[in-house]
Amino acid sequence: MREFTVGKNDAGQRADRFISKAVPNLPNGKMYKFIREKKIKLNGKRCEISTRLCEGDILRLYIPDEFFGETSEEEKNLDDIPTEVTIIYEDENILLAYKPTGLVVHEDSENTKDTLINRITKLLIERGEYDPSAENSFAPALCNRLDRNTEGIVVCAKNAESLRALNGFIRERKLKKKYLCAVLGSPRKNEGRIKTYLEKVEAENTVYVREKKTPNSKTAITDYRVLKTKGGLSLLEVGLVTGRTHQIRVHLAYIGCPILGDGKYDREAENRRYKRKSQCLCAYSLGFDIPRDGPLGYLAGRTFKAPTPRFVEEMFGETD
């Protein structure tokens, strides 16, 4: 038998989701079978799959020991991970980190261990702000993603309450993200909106523009503004109305202004000409358009910015 006391970071989630995190070696099929057989109990009574857990609840699992791990996976895997993280803003609830080009946010298909989330997790462990052995199901979590070759601001939640709040803000589009990018050529208008349908082909990890709706496409809307032009290049500020895979890269290529250095949607000859091996794209601004009387309300109205990307200085010199 193994007993779990629901902590503050565990409260509010469904019982089955808590169990799947707290006992990762327990297959879902087995878990639901054990719940039906009353081998998993909540506060001494039958456990319902969809019950929302409260702080202080006690879950008892009368199941074989083989499903329980011996040590924390976080502690096992982080020994050789560096703790080098550029922090733009931090408080007891969130951390805004600057992700450099080349660093992945999570472990990828190549099982890369040196990731942004692993660096942040190890940093918080070393500070004593996060103890994996004291948590049943929660670990620090990133709330947005950036491609390996995109730099900029990534949001990390340091506790479960903040994670729920941030995920809600993202769904409601209350986190306002802006990007800087260097593109080939210049759009016909100095500012505008691009609206198409995008369809992702998983086997190719490539996104295609569809001007008409198809069964597998989704609406994509991107706003842009030209900040500066120089030597056949333009510096754009871009805002996302929707957040589709590769949306900025695909949309700018669609209007004839691909992002410089983008090996997938760019013109390779131009990349070689400008000696760019990674895309000139940075998530440089994050604004909190959130209620002042809700979770994280102290951040309402605040905007945080990343350092000026190196490609901006290299390609355009000083900018206003």
Pairing type for strands 86-90 and 151-157 reads unpaired
Q: Out of 10, 16, 57, 147, pick the active-site residue.
A: 147
Amino acid of residue 254: Y
Q: Provide the b/e sequence for 82-109 (b: ≥16 CB within 10 Å).
A: eeebeebeeeebbbbbbbebebbbeeee
Amino acid of residue 270: E
- Nearest CA-CA partner of 148 in 178, 203, 184, 109: 109
The Cβ of residue 277 has, within 10 Å, a number of other Cβ atoms equal to: 11
DSSP 41-89: EETTEEPPTTPBP-TT-EEEE-S-GGGS-SS-HHHHHTTT-----EEEE
Active site residue 147: yes
DSSP 91-155: -SSEEEEEEPTT-BSS--TT----BHHHHHHHHHHHHTS--GGG-SS---EESS---TT-EEEEE
**Which residues carry out catalysis?**
147
